[in-house]
A and B are shown apart, each in its own frame.
Chain A
Amino acid sequence: MKAPLSVAVAIAIGLVVLLGYFMPFERLTSLRIVLLDWAVILAAVALLVGIGNLIYVHWRKSVRAQGESVHSVALLVSLFLTLGVVGWFSPTHPYSLWIFNNIQVPIESSLLAILAVLLAYALVRLLRRRMDRFSLVFVATVVIVLIGTAPLLGFDFPILGDLRSWLAEIPAVGGARGILLGIALGIIATGVRILIGADRPYGG
């Protein structure tokens, strides 16, 4: 087993935190809280490291004289500008909010907005790509719920509204619950695999 130390650490920390959840001992609980606190800090540091990696990647791309190097330069510039402004003033300072409101929000919500087209396009092609009852039920449901959500200008169709909410409140809830329970089982199994050292994503 490579890197026995890291494996030991992973397992030990995991087990302590897990026990901290289930064992009603004050000590364990507070220990769990401290450990999770550290984990949160580490995750935050990891984000910075990740951004370091982002910078590194785009630095290398931008020095490489190619078409997309311009993009990488733009990325680096905007990144450092934002770091500077938001860092110098606070995240909620008007200048920071100006960047947020006039660059980030427009782009991000536009990205979501084009999904309104791309998703419709995907559904149109879905039936050709995958013609089976699953897809048929899927598309039919989508259409019903869509038209049941809002009135067509002057004309309102209450029946559609009721059908929509029935779909959303009965069968959808049933299915979603089944999916969530299954996922929960998957999550537990995956976590356990890590805590017995079978999976070692941390370079082990």
Chain B
Amino acid sequence: MSRVIVNRVRKGLYLDSVALMRFSRSIAGLAGVEEAALMMGTPANLGILVEAGLLDGAGEHAKGGDLVIAVRARDGDSADAAVAKAGELLDQPRLTRGETAAWRPRTLRAALNQVPEATLALISVPGDFAAAEARKAIRRGLDAMIFSDNVPLADEVALKREARDLGRLVMGPDCGTAIINGVPLAFANRVPSGAVGIIGASGTGIQEVSCLIARNGAGISHAIGVGGRDLSEAVGGISTLRALDMLARDPASERVVLISKPPAPEVSARVLEKLSGIGKPATVCFVGAPPMAMPANAVQAFTLREAALRSVGVSGETPPPALPPVPTIAPGRREIRGLFSGGTLCAEAQAVMLAGKIAVASNAPIPGAAPASTGAAESLLLDMGDDSYTRGRPHPMIDPEVRDDAVRQAMADPSVAVILADIVLGFGAHGDPAGHLARAVRAAGGAERALLIASVTGTEADPQIRSVQIAKLEEAGILVAPSNADAARWACEAVQR
């Protein structure tokens, strides 16, 4: 029966022996506690604690003026509970000195009293409260960005209809990325300001396009996230239409890019009709959609990469870089396994593969791709940011651990030829996602293994610094493609060779 010893040292705490005695007895009586002592940390007393088998590493360095709480208990929990109780007993009401805590308003209303010139409410409270907070914001004349997900659809619809009547913009819900007046919000990247205005129904879609634009020497005026369901039939594109109005009037935005999954037919008609009236050249990228009729001022792009290039005037047809020389893939290996933290990046990879005549399945399938559950297709692309993975766990962009198991499984699967992974940088994302993936790959080890191809969505100005992240991936033998679309194309080439 393993016994646990826990010590806690309270620096410079004075208690008279009456109190010490009382506390020791009350703790010794707690469930699971075999012996407990509270003594000043003098060498002599430490000697006693050793003899009584009560001293551990923490207690050893106590000095004469410190109080040592020493507990031996049946198990860890009762030991910790006893030490916590001792702490409680010791914490007489102490008024902490220290500088005055700046007052933080408790509600939006109080915040507006403090800062009347506020223009945007960034809301990241739990889903079932987010719509109510957004409603308060738009009624107070603010626009709202709802980062929270799990907002009921009916709430989104009612909220956006009221916003439309009030002439306000609601970004989201589940809007992870936005850039307003050059300021990155939530999970955005630090990109130079410029003439391209982006409207996106997805966070990572905006990040990939804005970073590619930056890498091509241009910049962003604003990036407005409208949330994944805005272009659904139920919502009817209210925020997209509002965003188009805003960019139409915005002098800084000379060109517009619209990114989303294929919208419902009548919604896309309404959106394209509005787009035709903005009086500015536009690029439309409904990832996974077939070729569609575009208004005169608009051109269709089929991948995020193409949309970015077109929006900076580089024609989409420039030949993409070819797959560099790679070791030939073992005959048994046929499958491509995609592990994505970004939903739209997963969609774009599916689009590229379908165009490359490769059968694809996904837990978030685009038109033409098979649902993951059927297992029919050889290649499986997973959107690991999907609710099924993030239930009760942080998003993989925040905590890459979520993806480690899938990487290990894919590395161990003899039928997998290529493993695709996206690395997304920027504010809010993990401090070193590439380093994390590299460690997971090295840990998986194995002499003969699948080809690993990744892309890094980010800029040099991001906290994680894109070039540093690329170096870490290449050190671990991971091939790094210039964009998510290129990585997918390289995977196809590698498998078809």
A and B assemble together: no
Q: Which B residues lie at the A interface, using CB under 8 A?
A: none
Q: Which A residues lie at the B interface, using CB under 8 A?
A: none
